[in-house]
Amino acid sequence: MAQALAPSIRPLPDPAQIAALRALRDQFGRDWKAHLLADWITQPDNPHQSPDLCRLRRSHGPSWLLDYTLPDR
């Protein structure tokens, strides 16, 4: 299993990953991070999750999400 990169060397999410995060925010509102974090922890290989979000979980890890803020559009 690949280990997540240290925070200082993690690349920024790519445009497709940001779009997937925004779609999740639009769907779940204020609780989007809690929903995604719970998904990542309880179902890390959820086949219903977008490939962009799965790739982001594998590259950044769940703890990264806590400090992340979506950029303005």
- Dump pLDDT digits (tens) for 1-15: 556 555 557 788 999
Q: Which two tokens stand for residue 42?
A: 């309880």
User: What pLDDT is attached to residue 28?
Assistant: 94
Domain borders along the chain are: 14-67
Q: Which two tokens stand for residue 28?
A: 């779940």
Q: Using the 8-state DSSP alphabet, how is residue 48 labeled?
A: T
Is pLDDT of 64 > 80? yes
- Dump pLDDT digits (tens) for 7-45: 557 788 999 999 999 999 999 999 999 999 999 999 877
Q: Tell me how far apart the alpha carbons of residues 4 and 24 are, in angstroms, rounded to a whole number.
A: 22
Q: Which two tokens stand for residue 30?
A: 């204020």
